[in-house]
Amino acid sequence: MSFFNTQIKFASDIVAANISIIVILVAAVIYISLAKKWKVIWSLIRTMDHRKIGILYIAWGFIFFLRAGLDAMLMRTQLAFPNFHFWVFQGDKYDQVMTTHGTLMIFFVAMPFLIGLMNIAVPLQIGARDIAFPFFNSLSMWLFVIGGLLINMSFVMGGAPSTGWTSYVPLAVGKDIVGNGTAFYDMGVQVSGIGTIMTSINMITTILKHRAPGMGFMKIPLFTWSALITSILILFAFPVLSAALLILLFDNQFGTQIFSGEHGNPVLWQHLFWAFGHPEVYIVILPAFGVFSQVISTFASKRIFGYSSMVLSMLAIGFLSFMVWIHHMFTVGLGAFANVVFAITSMLIAVPTGIKIFNWLFTIRGGSVRFTTAMLYSLAFIPSFVIGGVTGVMQAVVPADYQYHDSYFVVAHLHYVMVGGTVFGAFSGFYYWWPKMFGYLLNDKIGKWQAWTFIIGFHMTFLPMHLSGLQGMPRRTFTYLPEDGLFEFNFISTMGAYLMAFSVLLFIWNVFYSYQKKERWGVADPWDGRTMDWAVPSPSSHIRWPYLPVVRDLENLWYAKEHGDGTLPFSQKEEKRIVVEKPTIIPLLLSGGFFTISFGLIFAVPLITVAGFMGTLLLMAWRSITYERSIDLYTSAQLEEAIRREEE
Amino acid sequence: MKKIVGIWGSCLLLLSGCSAIQNMDVLNPAGSQAAEQYSLIKLSMYIMLIVMVTVVVLFVRFVHKYRARPGFTPEKHQENRNKKLELTWTILPFVLLLILAVPMVKSVFGEEKQDNTGAMKVKVTASEYWWKFEYPEEGIVTSQELHLPKGKRVVIELHSKDVIHSFWVPQLGGKQDLIPGRTNKMALTPEKVGTYQGKCGEFCGAGHSFMRFLVKVDSQQDYQQWVNQMKKENTSSKLSAQESEGQNVFKNNCLSCHATSGVASANQGKEGPNLAGFGDRERVAGFMPNTEKNVLKWLKDPKKVKPGTEMPKAKGLSKDDYAALSAYLKALEK
C-alpha cells in the first residue's frame, strides 16, 4: 500500500501490530463507556493540576514502557538460541525493534516516569500551590505524548527508526533507513524535547521562586534538589540535542551534507549527540537518587546522613557530567591526549557518586528499617547500582575500553545503571507516592512479589551480559554462531527477561487489585513521613494552602511531630492575588498542531506542515488573547472559603 | 525469599561456570596489545572488587542489624554527620582512582609513542558487509581472512567505504573505528599461531551481525608461503570440465565485481570481495562454514542469507550452472 509516497508492506508482523492496536483501542473505548468514565477523561485531558499532569506523565510513560518492553521480549526471544529465526525479527526488523526499545525507554519511559514524580511531589515538598506555569506544564506533557506516539506509529507506517537510539551518521542518512525511520526518530524526539525544555524552565522557576516562607536552600528536601539540578542539566543539554536533530533533519530531507556525504563530518554528530547524551544519563539518574534519599530516610526512620554533602555531590555530578562525553568515543581515534583527559574526568564522577552511596548506607545505620515495597526497591538499588558504577569506572580505562566498547559489556553496564538506578527509582517512587497520587496504597504483598521477581529477573538478564561481552559479542547483533560460546549467557538473559515481563504483569495486576480494595483510603501520612508532601490530604487537592506553611526544618513535618502535635504552622500573611488556572483543552490542541507539523515533515508534504504551523500560531494567539478569562483569582480568605466549600 | 535468591544465584553461577570463563576471548589474549589491555582489565577488576566488597559488607550488616522487629529500639543518638567518616570516603576513592589512572595514562601514551619503523603495513577497508585487506608492501589483496605473521608488529590503516564500522579481534586487541572520510591507525602484534575471530564492533545496519572475518596468524615461514601463492597471477590452471563451465558462468555473472587473483592490479575497480584462494577459506559470506551446500544457499539468494548485503542474485542461472559455479569456486585454491 502506498501512503503519502511511502510503501507499507503488510507482512505478518505489521498485520499483527495493526490488529492489536485496533483491539486495544476498541477495548479501551468499551471499557470507558461501560464504566462511564468519559467525564473523568474529559476533565483529565484539560487539567492544570500538577498531580494529575504527573499521573498522565506516568500513565503514558507506562504505556510506552509496555511497548518498549514488548520490543525487549522480541529481541530476547530472537537471541535465545544461536542462529535462531524467530518470526521476522532478523536483519532490519530486529534493528527497528532494538532502536524503538532504546529510544522509547530513554526518552519516553525514564524521562516521563521521573518528570511525573517531580510534578507530583516537588510542589508539595516545597509548599507551593502548583507548578509555576501550569499551562506550560500541560503543554509539555502533551508534547511528550505526541513525540512518543510518533515513534510508536512508525513501525506500522512504513518502518520504524532502525539505526540505534544513538542514530549514528552516515547510517541514519542514506540507503540504510527503513521507510521514514530516521525522520520519525528525529521529529518524535524533537517534539518531546521541546516539551522537556519547557518543563525544565517550569521546574527551575517553581523551585527557585515558589518555596514556602522559611525554606532556605539548605532546607530543600533532597528529591526537590535533584529535580532542580536535573532541570538545570536539561536546560543546558537538550538544546544541543535539538540543534543536532535539526541538522539531522536537514541532512535527511534537504541534503545539506553537514554530518553526512562528501562534505559532512560524521564525527560531529557523535560530539553533539554525546555532549547531550552524557548529561542525559545524569538527567535520568539524579531524580532517582532523590527518590532513594526520601524513601531510605523515611523507612529507616532517620534523617538523611550528610545532607550537605548529598547536595554538593549532586552538584558535582551535574557539573562533571558535561565534560565526560568523549568516553563514548574512545575508539573514534581522537588521539591519546583527548582520550586521557576525558578518561580522568569520567573517573572523577565516581567520587561524588561513592559519597552518595556511603551516605545512604550510613542513613540506615542507627535507624529502624521497615521493609515496605518502596524500601525494597531502594535497598536493591544500592548493590545493583554499585555494580553498574564500578563497570563504568572500568570502562574509563581507555585501553580496556577498546575491548568493552560497543560490546555486550556496555549493554550490561547501561542497563545496570538505567534499570538498577532509574527504573528501580521509578518503581520505588510509585509505591511511595501512590497514596499521594490516588489516595490509597498499592498492595504490599503483591508489591513484594513484584519487586523480588523484578530484581531477580533483572540480575539474571543483565549479569550474564558482562560475560557475553567479554566473550566477544558485539551489541546490536540479532544472532550469533553456535561456535561462539554465547548460548548459555544469552539463554539465561532471555529467561531473566521473561521473569521481568512477568513482574510487570504483576504490577498491572497490583494496580487493578489495589484500585478495588482502596487500602487506607485518604490517609494523609501512611508512611510516618518526614517532609511536607505528607502533610496534605491524600490524594493532594488542586487548591490548597490559603496561607502558606512556614518551614522551620529540612524535615518540616518531622520537626512538627517532634516539637508539637504534628501540624504545620502557617504564615499569617494575607495574599491578594492567588492565580488558579482554569482547565483548558488548548494544550492538547497545540500538541495536535505540533503533530501535524511533524507529520508533514516526516512524509515530506509541505502543505500539511504549513497547515500545522498556521494552526499552532492561531492557537497561541488565541491563548494570549483569552489569558485573563482563563484564570481564577483568589485572595487568601476567598481561597480558604473555596476549599471549605469543596470539602463539603 | 532468601532461599529463592540463593537458588537462583547458585543456578547462575553453575551455568556460567560451565562455559569456562577463563577461556573468554578478551580474557585469553594472543597478542601483546590484547595482553596489555587484559592486564588493565584485571587491575581495574581487583580495585573495583575492593569497592564492591566494602559496600556489600556494610549493606548486609546495616540492613540486618537495624531491621525493625519486635523488641528492637533504635539508637537514641542518631548520627547525621561525621566529618571523619565523610572525609574517608571522599579521599580513599581518589587514592584508588590514582592507582588505576597512572598505569592507564602510561599505557595510552606508551602505545602512541611506539616506534613503527620496520612494522608491517596492512590497509583495511570496510564496506557493508565485508572486509578488504590490502598488503601494499607485497602488492596483494584479499578479503574476509586476514593473514598475519606471528611476532611481528603490524600497523593497520583503517578506511570505510560507506558507514562507520569498527575493527575488532578480541584476542589480538581492542577496537578502532573505520570512519568514512577519515583514516585511523592501530597496531597489532600477534604472539601465538592460530585462527581468531574478528567482528565489526560498530552497528552498521541490517547485516551487522554477519560482518565477521577471521585472522589467521601463521609462523613467518607459512605466512611467506601464503604471500607467494597470492602473488601468482592465476590460481586455477587445471580445471575439470564442470569447473571450466563454472569459470564461464563466473566470467559472465561475477567477474565484474569479484577478482580471482590476489594481485593488487587485478583488483582495480572491483566492488566486491576478492576470491583468490576461496577454496581454502573456512567460511562463505563471512560466517557460514565453506561447504557446497552453504555456497549454493548463498549464491541462490544472498539477501536472504545475509540481510542488507550488496551482492545481487544472479539472473537466469540453471541448476547445473549453480553446481558448476560452486565447483569452480571450490577449485580456487592456492
B95-110 average pLDDT score: 95
pLDDT confidence band for A399 (50 / 70 / 90): very high
Share of chain A above pLDDT 70, in %: 100
Are both A210 and A65 inside the same structural domain? yes
The predicted structure's pLDDT at residue B333: 77
The predicted structure's pLDDT at residue A400: 96
For residue B210, is it within any domain?
Answer: yes
Smallest CA-to-CA distance from A146 within A45, A4, A249 is with A45
Are both A17 and A82 inside the same structural domain? no
For residue B34, is it within any domain?
Answer: no
Residues of the domain holding B201: 120-231
Residue in chain B nearest A264 by alpha carbon: B181
Are both A23 and A52 inside the same structural domain? no
pLDDT tens digits, residue range A506-558?
999 999 999 999 888 889 999 999 999 999 999 999 899 999 999 999 999 99
Establish if A309 touches chain B: CB-CB under 8 angstroms: yes
Are both A2 and A114 inside the same structural domain? no
Residue ranges with strand state E in A440-495: none
Q: Which amino acid is at A554?
A: L
The predicted structure's pLDDT at residue B22: 58
Are both A480 and A573 inside the same structural domain? yes
A195-209 average pLDDT score: 97
pLDDT at B1 over 80: no
H-assigned helices in A36-180: 38-45, 50-78, 91-103, 111-126, 134-153
pLDDT at A316 over 80: yes
Are both A7 and A68 inside the same structural domain? no
Partner-chain contact B63 A379, CB within 8 Å: yes
The predicted structure's pLDDT at residue B165: 97
Q: Residue B256 sits in a domain of what CATH number?
A: 2.60.40.420
pLDDT at B18 over 50: no
Lowest mean pLDDT among A7-16, B6-15, B53-62: B6-15
Task: Measure the CA–CA gap between A602 and B140, rounded to whole angstroms.
Answer: 47
Are both B250 and B152 inside the same structural domain? no
For residue B115, is it within any domain?
Answer: no
Domain boundary among the residues B166, B199, B231 is at: B231
pLDDT tens digits, residue range A154-178?
999 989 999 999 999 999 998 889 9
For residue B176, is it within any domain?
Answer: yes
pLDDT tens digits, residue range A75-134?
999 999 999 999 999 999 999 999 999 999 999 999 999 999 999 999 999 999 999 999
For residue B43, is it within any domain?
Answer: no
Task: Measure the CA–CA gap between A535 and A145, rounded to whole angstroms.
Answer: 31
Task: Measure the CA–CA gap between A472 and A407, rounded to whole angstroms.
Answer: 7
Are both A283 and A344 inside the same structural domain? yes
Task: Measure the CA–CA gap between A584 and A137, rounded to whole angstroms.
Answer: 12
Q: Which of B89, B101, B184 sits opposite A355 (nearest CB)?
A: B89
Domain boundary among the residues B204, B231, B258 is at: B231
Are both B214 and B252 inside the same structural domain? no
Are both B217 and B264 inside the same structural domain? no
Q: Residue A53 sits in a domain of what CATH number?
A: 1.20.210.10
Domain count for chain A? 2
For residue B24, is it within any domain?
Answer: no
pLDDT confidence band for A317 (50 / 70 / 90): very high
CA torsion through residues B104, B105, B106, B108, sign:
positive
Residues of the domain holding A338: 37-647
A520 or A429, higher pLDDT: A429
What does residue B4 show for φ and ψ, rounded to 5 degrees?
A: -60, -45
pLDDT confidence band for A8 (50 / 70 / 90): confident
Give the C-alpha distances (Å, rounded to integers) separating A622 from A130, A584, B165: 24, 12, 51
Are both B252 and B297 inside the same structural domain? yes
Average pLDDT of chain B, as a whole number: 89
Q: Which residues contact A54 (CB under 8 A, 6 or more apart)?
A: A115, A116, A117, A118, A119, A120, A437
- Give the number of other CB atoms < 10 A from CB of residue A517: 13
DSSP-derived secondary structure for B185-250? EEEE-B-S-EEEEEEE-S--STTGGG-EEEEEEE-HHHHHHHHHHHHSS-S--S--HHHHHHHHHH
Are both A523 and A491 inside the same structural domain? yes
Q: What is the pTM of this model?
A: 0.95
| Neighboring chain B residues of A456 at a CB cutoff of 8 Å | 4-5, 8
Q: Which amino acid is at A384?
A: S
For residue B59, is it within any domain?
Answer: no
To test the contact with chain A by mutation, choose from B33, B46, B79, B112 the residue with the greatest count of A C-beta atoms within 10 A, namely B79
Are both A160 and A177 inside the same structural domain? yes
Are both A150 and A9 inside the same structural domain? no
pLDDT at A322 over 90: yes
What angle do helix axes A222-254 and A181-209 make, rounded to 10 degrees? 150
Partner-chain contact B108 A399, CB within 8 Å: yes
The predicted structure's pLDDT at residue B234: 63
Smallest CA-to-CA distance from A469 within B201, B109, B305, B208 is with B201
For residue B247, is it within any domain?
Answer: yes
Are both A6 and A134 inside the same structural domain? no
Partner-chain contact B12 A164, CB within 8 Å: no
B66-92 average pLDDT score: 87
Domain boundary among the residues B186, B201, B231 is at: B231
Are both A6 and A131 inside the same structural domain? no
Smallest CA-to-CA distance from B168 within A475, A416, A267, A338 is with A475
Here the cell at position B44 is: 581495574
Domain count for chain B? 2
**Which class for A573: exposed (0-12), middle (13-18), buried (19 or more C-beta within 10 A)?**
exposed
pLDDT tens digits, residue range A343-386?
999 999 999 999 999 999 999 999 999 999 999 999 999 999 99
Average pLDDT of chain A, as a whole number: 95
Partner-chain contact B4 A452, CB within 8 Å: yes
Are both B145 and B206 inside the same structural domain? yes
- Give the number of other CB atoms < 10 A from CB of residue A354: 25
User: What residues 86-105 of chain A have any CB closer than 8 A to a CB of chain B?
Assistant: 90-92, 95
